[in-house]
Amino acid sequence: MTKINWKITWGLAVTVLFLVLLAVRLGLFKDQSATIPSGPKAEIVRHPESWMNIYQNRKKIGVIHRTYQALENGRFQTTENVTMQINTMGITQALHISTETELNPDMSFSSFHFQLNSSLFRFNARGYKQKDQIILFAGPPREEEKIILPISDVPHISGNIYEAAFRAGLKKNQSSSFSIFDPSTLGIRKISVTRDADEIIPIMGKRILTQKFCADFMGAKNCAWLAKDGEVLKESGILGLSMEKVSEELARKEFAMDNVIDFTQVASIPSNQIFQDPASLTEITIRISNIHPSGLMLNGGRQKFHQDLLTVTRELIPIENATEGKMPSFFKHFLKPSPLVQSDHPQIKAAMAKMVSRGDSPSGKMRKIVSWVYKNIQKKPALSVPNALEVLKNRTGDCNEHAVLTAALLRSAGVPAQIETGLVYLNGRFYYHAWNLAYVGQWITADAVFNQIPADVTHIRLVRGEGSQQLDLLGVMGKIKLEVISAK
Q: Do residues 123 and 96 make contact, with C-beta atoms less than 8 angstroms apart?
A: no
Question: Does residue 74 belong to any structural domain of this protein?
Answer: yes
Question: Does residue 243 belong to any structural domain of this protein?
Answer: yes
DSSP 300: B
156 and 29, same structural domain?
yes
Q: pLDDT at residue 259 above 60?
A: no
116 and 209, same structural domain?
yes
d(CA 68, CA 107) in angstroms, rounded, equals 13
Question: Does residue 440 belong to any structural domain of this protein?
Answer: yes
Q: pLDDT at residue 10 above 70?
A: no
Strands (E) in 303-344, as ranges, are 303-306, 309-313
Question: Does residue 261 belong to any structural domain of this protein?
Answer: no
Residue numbers of the domain that contains 114? 19-251
Question: Does residue 259 belong to any structural domain of this protein?
Answer: no
User: 69 burial class (0-12, 13-18, 19+ CB within 10 angstroms)?
Assistant: exposed
pLDDT band at residue 484, thresholds of 50, 70 and 90? very high
| Direct distance between the N- and C-terminal alpha carbons of the chain, in angstroms, rounded to an integer | 24
207 and 61, same structural domain?
yes
Query: At 285, which CATH number?
Result: 3.10.620.30
Domain boundary among 220, 251, 282: 251
Residues 351-361 have pLDDT tens digits of 999 999 988 99
pLDDT at 140: 80
Residues 92-136 have pLDDT tens digits of 778 888 889 898 877 788 899 988 887 777 888 899 988 889 998
CA angle 162, 125, 160 (to 5 degrees): 5
436 and 370, same structural domain?
yes
DSSP 452: B
276 and 223, same structural domain?
no
CA nearest to 373, candidates 384, 365, 381, 382: 365
204 and 150, same structural domain?
yes
Query: What percent of the chain clears pLDDT 70, i.e. is strictly above it?
Result: 84
> What does the pLDDT average to over 235-253?
86
d(CA 242, CA 54) in angstroms, rounded, equals 6
49 and 82, same structural domain?
yes
- Taking the model in full, what pTM does it have? 0.79
Report the number of distinct structural domains present in the chain.
2
Q: pLDDT at residue 346 above 50?
A: yes
455 and 330, same structural domain?
yes
